[in-house]
Structure 1
Amino acid sequence: MESQVTNKIKIMKQQHIILLIMLLAFCTVSGQYSNEVSGLIGYSNNGYSAAGNFHYYPDKNIGRYFEIGGYAGFLEEKQTGYDIPIEVYTLNVGYFTNIPLISNYSKSFLFSVGVGGVIGNESIDFSEIQLQEREFITTKGGAIYGGYGAAEADVKITNHLSAIARYTHFYHPESEIGKNKFMIGLGLAFKF
Protein backbone atom coordinates (compact mmCIF):
# COMPACT_ATOMS: atom_id res chain seq x y z
CA MET A 1 0.00 0.00 0.00
CA GLU A 2 2.80 2.36 0.92
CA SER A 3 4.61 1.71 -2.38
CA GLN A 4 1.42 2.57 -4.32
CA VAL A 5 1.23 5.92 -2.54
CA THR A 6 4.92 6.55 -3.26
CA ASN A 7 4.40 5.72 -6.94
CA LYS A 8 1.37 8.04 -7.14
CA ILE A 9 3.41 10.87 -5.61
CA LYS A 10 6.22 10.31 -8.14
CA ILE A 11 3.73 10.34 -11.02
CA MET A 12 2.11 13.53 -9.69
CA LYS A 13 5.52 15.25 -9.44
CA GLN A 14 6.34 14.24 -13.03
CA GLN A 15 2.97 15.54 -14.26
CA HIS A 16 3.53 18.90 -12.53
CA ILE A 17 6.98 19.24 -14.10
CA ILE A 18 5.69 18.33 -17.58
CA LEU A 19 2.81 20.81 -17.28
CA LEU A 20 5.15 23.60 -16.19
CA ILE A 21 7.57 22.89 -19.06
CA MET A 22 4.71 22.90 -21.59
CA LEU A 23 3.41 26.23 -20.29
CA LEU A 24 6.88 27.77 -20.34
CA ALA A 25 7.43 26.59 -23.91
CA PHE A 26 4.04 27.90 -25.08
CA CYS A 27 4.44 31.31 -23.48
CA THR A 28 8.06 31.73 -24.60
CA VAL A 29 7.07 31.09 -28.23
CA SER A 30 4.32 33.71 -28.05
CA GLY A 31 7.07 36.34 -27.47
CA GLN A 32 4.81 39.39 -27.64
CA TYR A 33 3.83 39.08 -23.98
CA SER A 34 5.76 39.58 -20.80
CA ASN A 35 6.31 36.51 -18.62
CA GLU A 36 8.01 35.74 -15.35
CA VAL A 37 9.43 32.67 -13.61
CA SER A 38 10.08 32.76 -9.87
CA GLY A 39 11.42 30.50 -7.17
CA LEU A 40 11.00 30.91 -3.42
CA ILE A 41 12.12 29.14 -0.28
CA GLY A 42 10.67 29.79 3.13
CA TYR A 43 9.01 28.81 6.37
CA SER A 44 5.74 26.91 6.50
CA ASN A 45 3.79 25.45 9.48
CA ASN A 46 6.62 24.03 11.60
CA GLY A 47 8.78 23.21 8.62
CA TYR A 48 10.22 24.53 5.41
CA SER A 49 8.84 24.89 1.93
CA ALA A 50 9.65 25.78 -1.65
CA ALA A 51 7.55 27.20 -4.46
CA GLY A 52 8.06 27.75 -8.15
CA ASN A 53 5.69 29.96 -10.15
CA PHE A 54 5.12 31.07 -13.71
CA HIS A 55 3.37 34.41 -14.32
CA TYR A 56 1.67 35.14 -17.62
CA TYR A 57 0.89 38.80 -18.33
CA PRO A 58 -1.71 39.08 -21.13
CA ASP A 59 -0.88 42.80 -21.41
CA LYS A 60 2.40 43.95 -19.87
CA ASN A 61 1.12 47.52 -19.42
CA ILE A 62 -1.65 46.41 -17.09
CA GLY A 63 -0.67 45.08 -13.68
CA ARG A 64 -2.69 41.88 -13.83
CA TYR A 65 -1.43 38.38 -14.43
CA PHE A 66 -2.25 34.70 -14.25
CA GLU A 67 -0.13 32.37 -12.17
CA ILE A 68 0.53 28.66 -12.30
CA GLY A 69 2.91 27.16 -9.80
CA GLY A 70 3.93 24.34 -7.57
CA TYR A 71 4.35 24.21 -3.80
CA ALA A 72 6.26 21.65 -1.75
CA GLY A 73 6.00 21.75 2.03
CA PHE A 74 7.97 19.56 4.44
CA LEU A 75 6.18 20.07 7.74
CA GLU A 76 5.92 18.54 11.21
CA GLU A 77 2.72 18.06 13.19
CA LYS A 78 3.68 18.80 16.80
CA GLN A 79 0.29 19.09 18.52
CA THR A 80 0.10 15.36 19.22
CA GLY A 81 3.27 15.11 21.30
CA TYR A 82 5.06 13.41 18.41
CA ASP A 83 6.96 15.02 15.57
CA ILE A 84 4.98 13.60 12.66
CA PRO A 85 6.61 14.45 9.30
CA ILE A 86 4.16 15.56 6.61
CA GLU A 87 4.85 16.25 2.94
CA VAL A 88 2.52 18.45 0.89
CA TYR A 89 2.75 18.90 -2.89
CA THR A 90 0.28 21.13 -4.72
CA LEU A 91 -0.39 22.66 -8.10
CA ASN A 92 -1.69 26.24 -7.78
CA VAL A 93 -3.51 28.30 -10.42
CA GLY A 94 -4.48 31.89 -9.67
CA TYR A 95 -5.13 35.47 -10.75
CA PHE A 96 -3.19 38.46 -9.38
CA THR A 97 -3.42 42.22 -9.63
CA ASN A 98 -0.99 44.98 -8.66
CA ILE A 99 -2.07 47.46 -5.99
CA PRO A 100 -1.31 50.93 -7.48
CA LEU A 101 -1.38 52.76 -4.13
CA ILE A 102 1.51 50.65 -2.83
CA SER A 103 3.39 50.06 -6.12
CA ASN A 104 5.39 52.86 -7.73
CA TYR A 105 4.94 54.19 -11.25
CA SER A 106 8.41 53.19 -12.50
CA LYS A 107 7.71 49.54 -11.61
CA SER A 108 10.84 49.31 -9.43
CA PHE A 109 8.56 48.17 -6.58
CA LEU A 110 5.34 46.26 -7.18
CA PHE A 111 2.89 44.89 -4.64
CA SER A 112 0.39 42.30 -5.85
CA VAL A 113 -2.43 40.33 -4.28
CA GLY A 114 -4.18 37.31 -5.70
CA VAL A 115 -6.39 34.30 -5.18
CA GLY A 116 -6.58 30.90 -6.79
CA GLY A 117 -7.29 27.21 -6.60
CA VAL A 118 -5.14 24.37 -5.30
CA ILE A 119 -5.01 20.64 -6.01
CA GLY A 120 -2.39 18.24 -4.71
CA ASN A 121 -1.39 15.54 -2.28
CA GLU A 122 -0.38 15.35 1.37
CA SER A 123 1.25 12.36 2.97
CA ILE A 124 2.71 11.23 6.27
CA ASP A 125 6.20 9.74 6.33
CA PHE A 126 5.52 6.69 8.54
CA SER A 127 9.15 5.53 8.43
CA GLU A 128 10.18 8.31 10.84
CA ILE A 129 7.40 7.81 13.41
CA GLN A 130 7.99 5.69 16.49
CA LEU A 131 4.73 4.95 18.30
CA GLN A 132 4.27 3.16 21.60
CA GLU A 133 2.23 -0.03 21.93
CA ARG A 134 -1.50 0.44 21.20
CA GLU A 135 -0.90 3.81 19.54
CA PHE A 136 -1.75 4.33 15.91
CA ILE A 137 -2.38 7.04 13.33
CA THR A 138 -5.77 6.86 11.64
CA THR A 139 -5.05 9.09 8.64
CA LYS A 140 -2.82 8.33 5.71
CA GLY A 141 -3.13 11.66 3.93
CA GLY A 142 -4.21 11.72 0.30
CA ALA A 143 -5.56 14.09 -2.31
CA ILE A 144 -6.29 17.65 -1.24
CA TYR A 145 -7.91 20.60 -2.95
CA GLY A 146 -8.95 24.09 -1.96
CA GLY A 147 -7.94 27.67 -2.45
CA TYR A 148 -5.20 30.12 -1.66
CA GLY A 149 -4.66 33.83 -1.19
CA ALA A 150 -1.29 35.55 -1.54
CA ALA A 151 0.45 38.90 -1.20
CA GLU A 152 3.72 39.45 -3.07
CA ALA A 153 6.28 42.29 -3.03
CA ASP A 154 8.57 42.57 -6.06
CA VAL A 155 11.72 44.76 -5.93
CA LYS A 156 13.44 45.33 -9.28
CA ILE A 157 17.19 44.52 -9.33
CA THR A 158 17.74 44.71 -13.11
CA ASN A 159 15.39 44.85 -16.10
CA HIS A 160 15.02 41.07 -15.98
CA LEU A 161 15.72 40.16 -12.35
CA SER A 162 13.73 40.96 -9.19
CA ALA A 163 13.86 40.00 -5.53
CA ILE A 164 10.49 38.86 -4.18
CA ALA A 165 8.92 38.33 -0.77
CA ARG A 166 5.63 36.48 -0.51
CA TYR A 167 3.02 35.33 1.98
CA THR A 168 0.62 32.60 0.83
CA HIS A 169 -2.23 31.13 2.87
CA PHE A 170 -3.67 27.79 1.74
CA TYR A 171 -7.03 26.33 2.73
CA HIS A 172 -7.64 22.60 2.15
CA PRO A 173 -11.17 21.63 3.31
CA GLU A 174 -10.61 17.89 2.70
CA SER A 175 -7.31 17.66 4.58
CA GLU A 176 -7.28 15.27 7.53
CA ILE A 177 -3.96 16.66 8.74
CA GLY A 178 -4.56 20.42 8.75
CA LYS A 179 -7.00 22.57 6.82
CA ASN A 180 -4.92 25.79 7.01
CA LYS A 181 -1.32 26.03 5.88
CA PHE A 182 0.86 29.01 5.04
CA MET A 183 4.19 29.91 3.47
CA ILE A 184 6.37 32.95 4.06
CA GLY A 185 9.18 33.01 1.54
CA LEU A 186 11.92 34.95 -0.21
CA GLY A 187 13.17 34.37 -3.72
CA LEU A 188 14.11 35.63 -7.14
CA ALA A 189 12.05 36.26 -10.26
CA PHE A 190 13.27 36.34 -13.85
CA LYS A 191 11.20 38.32 -16.37
CA PHE A 192 11.32 37.58 -20.09
Structure 2
Amino acid sequence: MTKVSAVALAALSAALLSGTALAGDGNSKASVGYTAADFDDATLGLAVARYNYSFTDYLAAEGEIGFGIVDDDVSDGVFSADVSADFTYGLFGVVQYPFDDRGSNVFARIGYMDTDLEFDVDGFGDIDVGADGAAYGIGANYFFNEQSGVRFDYTRFDADVDEDGVEADGEADLYGISYVFKF
Protein backbone atom coordinates (compact mmCIF):
# COMPACT_ATOMS: atom_id res chain seq x y z
CA MET A 1 0.00 0.00 0.00
CA THR A 2 1.46 3.38 -0.99
CA LYS A 3 1.65 6.33 1.38
CA VAL A 4 -1.09 8.11 -0.59
CA SER A 5 -3.27 4.99 -0.33
CA ALA A 6 -2.65 4.72 3.40
CA VAL A 7 -3.56 8.39 3.96
CA ALA A 8 -6.70 8.07 1.82
CA LEU A 9 -7.71 4.88 3.66
CA ALA A 10 -7.21 6.63 7.01
CA ALA A 11 -9.34 9.58 5.81
CA LEU A 12 -12.07 7.19 4.64
CA SER A 13 -12.01 5.36 7.99
CA ALA A 14 -12.27 8.64 9.89
CA ALA A 15 -15.17 9.76 7.71
CA LEU A 16 -17.01 6.48 8.20
CA LEU A 17 -16.46 6.52 11.97
CA SER A 18 -17.47 10.16 12.34
CA GLY A 19 -20.56 9.43 10.25
CA THR A 20 -21.80 6.98 12.86
CA ALA A 21 -21.95 9.89 15.32
CA LEU A 22 -24.36 11.62 12.94
CA ALA A 23 -26.49 8.50 12.51
CA GLY A 24 -30.16 9.01 13.10
CA ASP A 25 -30.27 12.54 11.73
CA GLY A 26 -31.93 11.41 8.49
CA ASN A 27 -28.99 12.57 6.36
CA SER A 28 -27.02 9.32 6.47
CA LYS A 29 -27.30 6.41 4.05
CA ALA A 30 -25.48 3.09 4.14
CA SER A 31 -25.56 0.60 1.30
CA VAL A 32 -24.31 -2.92 0.65
CA GLY A 33 -24.31 -4.53 -2.77
CA TYR A 34 -22.59 -5.97 -5.80
CA THR A 35 -20.50 -4.18 -8.42
CA ALA A 36 -19.31 -5.65 -11.72
CA ALA A 37 -16.00 -4.06 -12.75
CA ASP A 38 -15.43 -4.34 -16.50
CA PHE A 39 -11.73 -3.83 -17.28
CA ASP A 40 -10.46 -4.13 -20.86
CA ASP A 41 -9.84 -7.88 -20.68
CA ALA A 42 -11.45 -8.98 -17.42
CA THR A 43 -14.78 -8.61 -15.64
CA LEU A 44 -14.50 -8.84 -11.86
CA GLY A 45 -17.15 -8.89 -9.15
CA LEU A 46 -16.95 -6.90 -5.92
CA ALA A 47 -18.93 -6.83 -2.69
CA VAL A 48 -19.21 -3.10 -1.93
CA ALA A 49 -20.23 -1.14 1.17
CA ARG A 50 -20.83 2.63 1.13
CA TYR A 51 -21.56 5.42 3.55
CA ASN A 52 -23.14 8.64 2.23
CA TYR A 53 -23.76 11.80 4.24
CA SER A 54 -26.00 14.54 2.78
CA PHE A 55 -25.02 18.04 3.84
CA THR A 56 -28.04 19.46 1.98
CA ASP A 57 -30.73 18.05 -0.29
CA TYR A 58 -28.30 18.58 -3.17
CA LEU A 59 -24.74 17.98 -1.84
CA ALA A 60 -23.22 14.91 -0.17
CA ALA A 61 -19.96 13.08 0.48
CA GLU A 62 -19.52 9.36 0.01
CA GLY A 63 -16.95 6.72 0.91
CA GLU A 64 -16.87 3.13 -0.26
CA ILE A 65 -14.87 -0.04 0.25
CA GLY A 66 -15.02 -3.24 -1.77
CA PHE A 67 -13.64 -6.75 -1.75
CA GLY A 68 -13.26 -9.05 -4.75
CA ILE A 69 -15.66 -12.00 -4.83
CA VAL A 70 -15.65 -12.97 -8.55
CA ASP A 71 -12.41 -13.57 -10.47
CA ASP A 72 -11.85 -13.85 -14.21
CA ASP A 73 -9.45 -15.78 -16.43
CA VAL A 74 -7.62 -13.85 -19.15
CA SER A 75 -5.25 -14.96 -21.90
CA ASP A 76 -3.23 -13.23 -24.59
CA GLY A 77 -2.58 -16.42 -26.55
CA VAL A 78 0.78 -17.05 -24.84
CA PHE A 79 0.13 -16.48 -21.16
CA SER A 80 -3.00 -17.00 -19.12
CA ALA A 81 -3.83 -15.64 -15.69
CA ASP A 82 -6.51 -15.64 -13.03
CA VAL A 83 -7.31 -11.99 -12.23
CA SER A 84 -8.88 -10.89 -8.94
CA ALA A 85 -9.57 -7.62 -7.14
CA ASP A 86 -8.30 -7.85 -3.58
CA PHE A 87 -9.43 -4.54 -2.09
CA THR A 88 -10.75 -1.23 -3.38
CA TYR A 89 -11.85 2.04 -1.86
CA GLY A 90 -13.10 5.39 -3.05
CA LEU A 91 -13.95 8.90 -1.81
CA PHE A 92 -16.49 11.04 -3.69
CA GLY A 93 -18.24 14.36 -3.74
CA VAL A 94 -21.89 13.91 -4.75
CA VAL A 95 -24.43 16.23 -6.38
CA GLN A 96 -27.95 14.85 -6.03
CA TYR A 97 -31.48 15.82 -6.97
CA PRO A 98 -34.41 14.46 -4.91
CA PHE A 99 -37.57 13.46 -6.80
CA ASP A 100 -40.00 12.28 -4.10
CA ASP A 101 -40.79 12.83 -0.42
CA ARG A 102 -39.19 9.52 0.68
CA GLY A 103 -35.68 10.72 -0.25
CA SER A 104 -35.29 9.02 -3.64
CA ASN A 105 -32.82 10.87 -5.84
CA VAL A 106 -30.65 10.84 -8.93
CA PHE A 107 -27.00 11.73 -8.46
CA ALA A 108 -23.65 12.39 -10.09
CA ARG A 109 -20.40 11.78 -8.26
CA ILE A 110 -16.72 12.51 -8.79
CA GLY A 111 -13.73 11.48 -6.73
CA TYR A 112 -10.78 9.17 -6.27
CA MET A 113 -10.52 5.36 -6.29
CA ASP A 114 -7.72 2.96 -5.45
CA THR A 115 -7.70 -0.78 -6.09
CA ASP A 116 -5.30 -3.68 -5.62
CA LEU A 117 -5.42 -6.35 -8.32
CA GLU A 118 -3.76 -9.75 -8.29
CA PHE A 119 -2.72 -11.68 -11.40
CA ASP A 120 -1.98 -15.39 -10.84
CA VAL A 121 0.02 -16.00 -14.04
CA ASP A 122 0.51 -19.64 -15.08
CA GLY A 123 4.15 -20.56 -14.60
CA PHE A 124 5.14 -17.25 -12.95
CA GLY A 125 3.11 -16.98 -9.75
CA ASP A 126 1.29 -13.99 -8.32
CA ILE A 127 1.80 -10.42 -9.52
CA ASP A 128 0.24 -7.63 -7.45
CA VAL A 129 -0.78 -4.48 -9.31
CA GLY A 130 -2.02 -1.22 -7.81
CA ALA A 131 -4.28 1.16 -9.70
CA ASP A 132 -5.59 4.53 -8.59
CA GLY A 133 -7.06 7.65 -10.13
CA ALA A 134 -10.12 9.67 -10.94
CA ALA A 135 -13.56 8.11 -10.81
CA TYR A 136 -16.88 9.65 -11.82
CA GLY A 137 -20.37 8.41 -12.45
CA ILE A 138 -24.14 8.65 -12.16
CA GLY A 139 -26.87 6.74 -10.39
CA ALA A 140 -30.16 6.72 -8.55
CA ASN A 141 -31.46 5.81 -5.11
CA TYR A 142 -35.09 4.69 -5.05
CA PHE A 143 -36.68 4.36 -1.59
CA PHE A 144 -39.64 2.03 -1.06
CA ASN A 145 -40.40 3.72 2.28
CA GLU A 146 -38.70 6.24 4.59
CA GLN A 147 -35.70 3.95 5.28
CA SER A 148 -35.23 1.14 2.74
CA GLY A 149 -34.41 1.32 -0.92
CA VAL A 150 -32.28 0.22 -3.83
CA ARG A 151 -29.35 1.95 -5.53
CA PHE A 152 -28.25 1.63 -9.14
CA ASP A 153 -24.99 3.24 -10.22
CA TYR A 154 -22.42 3.48 -12.99
CA THR A 155 -18.85 4.67 -12.36
CA ARG A 156 -15.99 5.22 -14.80
CA PHE A 157 -12.55 4.58 -13.28
CA ASP A 158 -9.61 6.22 -15.10
CA ALA A 159 -6.66 4.53 -13.41
CA ASP A 160 -2.94 5.03 -13.28
CA VAL A 161 -1.47 1.53 -12.99
CA ASP A 162 1.84 1.05 -11.19
CA GLU A 163 3.63 -2.29 -10.88
CA ASP A 164 7.27 -2.36 -9.78
CA GLY A 165 7.93 1.12 -11.17
CA VAL A 166 6.29 0.39 -14.52
CA GLU A 167 3.41 2.83 -15.03
CA ALA A 168 0.52 2.61 -17.48
CA ASP A 169 -2.99 3.96 -17.93
CA GLY A 170 -6.08 1.78 -17.53
CA GLU A 171 -9.81 2.19 -17.31
CA ALA A 172 -12.80 0.30 -16.04
CA ASP A 173 -16.57 0.59 -16.15
CA LEU A 174 -18.28 -0.30 -12.88
CA TYR A 175 -21.99 -1.21 -12.70
CA GLY A 176 -23.56 -1.60 -9.26
CA ILE A 177 -26.76 -2.51 -7.49
CA SER A 178 -27.14 -2.17 -3.71
CA TYR A 179 -29.59 -2.25 -0.84
CA VAL A 180 -29.75 1.21 0.78
CA PHE A 181 -30.73 2.02 4.36
CA LYS A 182 -31.35 5.63 5.40
CA PHE A 183 -30.94 6.60 9.04
- TM-score range for the pair, normalised by the shorter chain length: 0.7 to 0.9
What corresponds to 2:84 in structure 1?
86
Q: 1:36 pairs with 29, 34, 41, which one?
A: 29
- Over 3 Å counting, the alpha-carbon distance change for 1:33 and 1:159 in structure 2 is closer
1:49 and 1:183 in contact (8 A); partners too: no
- Structure 1 equivalent of residue 55 of structure 2: 58
SS of structure 2 residue aligned to 1:114: strand
Counterpart of 2:154? 167
Contact 1:53 1:70 in 2 (8 A): yes
Distance 1:190 1:182, change over 3 A: same
Which stretches in structure 2 are left out of the alignment for 5+ residues? none
SS at match of 1:158: coil
- Relative to structure 1, the CA distance from residue 173 to residue 16 in structure 2 (aligned partners, 3 Å threshold; closer, same or farther) is closer
Q: Deviations over 1:37-89 (max 9, x none)?
A: 11121322223122211101123xx2210011113344435251424323242
Whole-Å separation in 1 of the counterparts to 2:132 and 2:45: 20
* 1:183 partnered with 2:174: yes
Alpha-carbon separation, structure 2, partners of 1:43 and 1:27? 27
How far did residue 191 of structure 1 move? Answer: 0.9
- Residue 25 (structure 1) shift: 3.6
Query: Of the candidates 104, 110, 115, which is equivalent to residue 99 of structure 2?
Result: 104
- Relative to its length, the structure with more helix (as a share) is 1
Q: Specify the code of the residue in structure 1 equivalent to 2:141.
A: D
CA 1:64–1:169 in 2, change beyond 3 Å: closer, same or farther?
A: same
Instruction: Kindly tell me the number of residue pairs found equivalent between the two proteins.
Output: 167
Q: Secondary structure at the match of 2:160?
A: coil
- Between the aligned residues of both structures, percent identity stands at 13
So what's the TM-score if we normalise by structure 2? Answer: 0.74
Max Rg structure: 1
Paired with 1:171 and 1:76, the residues of 2 have a C-alpha distance of 20
- Under a length normalisation based on structure 1, what TM-score does the superposition of the two structures give? 0.71
Tell me which protein shows more strand as a share of its residues.
2
Structure 1 residues without counterparts, runs of 5 or longer: 1-7
Asked whether the equivalents of residues 44 and 85 of structure 2 are also in contact (C-alpha less than 8 Å), the reply is no
- Residue by residue over 1:110-142, the C-alpha shift from the partner in whole angstroms, topping out at 9 and shown as x without a partner, is 110111012342222x3xx434xxxx58x9333
> Does the CA-based 8 Å contact 2:46-2:85 persist in structure 1?
no
Q: 1:108 to 1:119 in 2, by over 3 A?
A: closer
CA distance in 1, matches of 2:29, 2:136: 19
Name which of 33, 44, 47 aligns with 1:47: 44
Equivalent residue of 1:182, what SS? Answer: strand
